[in-house]
Structure 1
């Protein structure tokens, strides 16, 4: 069933029932257009409660005839499916990792390269710079989808049942990485032995021992209960996680100027609050782990060793052409 933008006057009864299953506001019945906004995160994840839900509220409050139905928990498909649906127009908006978008336009995946950015400020500075405009335009031309903004996903760290302080500590461990070229390159760059497991199956893989560890931001580790099946979290900060907010080009073109402005403004306005929410959640979760002993927090990681090894590998062994130029451009933006 098509779940993309739905014009109320033409909506069949079955589609109305589907729209009602979303998490959007109660104003959708009065709106001219209802946009579907997909994500793979739980309802209490910061990207949902301090991101997507706030975008939905702000767009509806703008009074431009748009309602937003939100679909957390991979209701509209997993991460390998939803962006394809955005490109086809079957889903209007999505929150998607850069590496996943790289399957459709390879250069954008470099945002997820190990130690591409020093921190979130560095990432935002590049994204907001003139240097990034060509990348975003090329992405839209190639995929038919528009990047509205980038949100901070949190620093990615390793979890395992042993501490990981240096690249050598990864030796012999089967670490779960997403099945994408840039993540598998990160694994090689960091010295890990990667195993690819769908995100929705990570908990079971850790529980059954088919994976020895994984890497994700702290709120994701907590929200998906990986702390129940892992004893250590090692603060490697090997990736400044980025999530792109994308909208179908077909959907965007159907919106008038005021509606486009309202959607763009909402996504961009929420960026700072979303980041604060992520960082507050990180601090609270780490404090809870430390106080309860639910996980041992390993904070004496040799970041310099990881960074130098990863950057050398990516520059000399993996990245080339436009991807290498982009990786270098990140470093040149202050």
Structure 2
């Protein structure tokens, strides 16, 4: 009887311990709209696994790619509704809660990817991120370089004037429209999934996206030239929901932040390496790759597009431009 009682008590203790351990593990959802082959997914998976390791398995994070939990607007809303805990999303969506943070999309604000990354370590970034957090409650932990947006067309583009009258597909976001409209192009907000067909049948004559997207979506098959307009050095934020961030201890906040910043650095490096290789790859395929007069483009944008019309602050623009 004593042996049986001891065995039962031992089994009960083990069951209680496993129950407590299960209760101690927090399940979280990390969502984004990118494909599984892209660094924004692979490095998110790495980060999820790394957070689990560094917290002794207290957090189990499942990453949902390719809009599995909704489009970008949906997952941003999900942070508020509690249907997702962590997302990767552009500042154009963050600016819906806090307009000034969208100044990073004003054409030619960043010189190159290095300037963008330097900005993420600056006081002006801290101020804008804090403004977004105050407005939304959500916390930005890291920023990943997404790519520099270039222009493809079936004509050679070297100056802003070369775009006059050009029918170009641009996302229906004010800051994305700024450069083409300043140069006199006719913009069309065709759905991203329909861009290839629209270029093929002539509904539009041009489009703009990073080189990695131009390759992935095979736009080079229906466009003869790539103009390196470099008008927007694009980026993605890693954002933690208000509820999750508030629930984390200071120690766990440190772990989440460090891991997510490491993941962003890894993703940024992959994107930069891919872009550098693609310039030569496209040239080797017989695609025209043209350097443009960026100073001409920038001057035209500044003369024709007021950043205040977007809700941006000129002092923020100046502070970002001054970052070294």
Which of residues 301, 304, 324 in structure 1 aligns to 2:314?
324
TM-score by length of 1: 0.82
Deviation of residue 218 (structure 1)? 1.0
CA spacing shift, 1:70–1:208, aligned 2, 3 Å = farther
> For 1:251-308, what per-residue CA distance to the aligned partner results, in whole angstroms no more than 9, with x for missing partners?
2122233332222111111232222100111122222222233x3322x311111122
CA spacing shift, 1:185–1:301, aligned 2, 3 Å = closer
Deviation of residue 115 (structure 1)? 0.4
In the TM superposition, what are the counterparts of 1:16-27 in structure 2 within 5 Å?
Answer: none
Deviation of residue 328 (structure 1)? 1.8
CA spacing shift, 1:90–1:297, aligned 2, 3 Å = same
CA–CA separation in structure 2 for the residues paired with 1:283 and 1:184: 26
RMSD (CA atoms)? 2.3
Answering whether residue 294 of structure 2 is matched by residue 303 of structure 1, we say yes
Deviation of residue 238 (structure 1)? 0.9
The residue aligned with 1:230 is 223
CA–CA separation in structure 1 for the residues paired with 2:167 and 2:180: 10
CA–CA separation in structure 2 for the residues paired with 1:92 and 1:223: 29
CA–CA separation in structure 2 for the residues paired with 1:290 and 1:320: 37
Which of residues 235, 239, 242 in structure 2 aligns to 1:249?
242
Structure 1 stretches lacking a partner, 5+ long: 1-8, 10-28
CA spacing shift, 1:152–1:273, aligned 2, 3 Å = same
Which of residues 213, 217, 220 in structure 1 aligns to 2:210?
217
CA–CA separation in structure 2 for the residues paired with 1:288 and 1:67: 40
SS state of the match for residue 80, structure 1? helix
TM-score by length of 2: 0.85
Answering whether residue 155 of structure 2 is matched by residue 155 of structure 1, we say no
Which of residues 124, 131, 141 in structure 2 aligns to 1:131?
124
Structure 2 stretches lacking a partner, 5+ long: 1-18
Deviation of residue 191 (structure 1)? 3.6
Equivalent pairs counted in the alignment come to 303
Answering whether residue 54 of structure 2 is matched by residue 55 of structure 1, we say no
User: Following TM superposition, where does structure 1 have runs of at least 4 consecutive aligned residues deviating by more than 4 angstroms?
Assistant: 316-322
> For 1:196-255, what per-residue CA distance to the aligned partner results, in whole angstroms no more than 9, with x for missing partners?
133333334333433322111111222233223323211111111121111111121222
Answer with 1 or 2: which has the greater Rg.
2
CA–CA separation in structure 1 for the residues paired with 2:265 and 2:36: 19
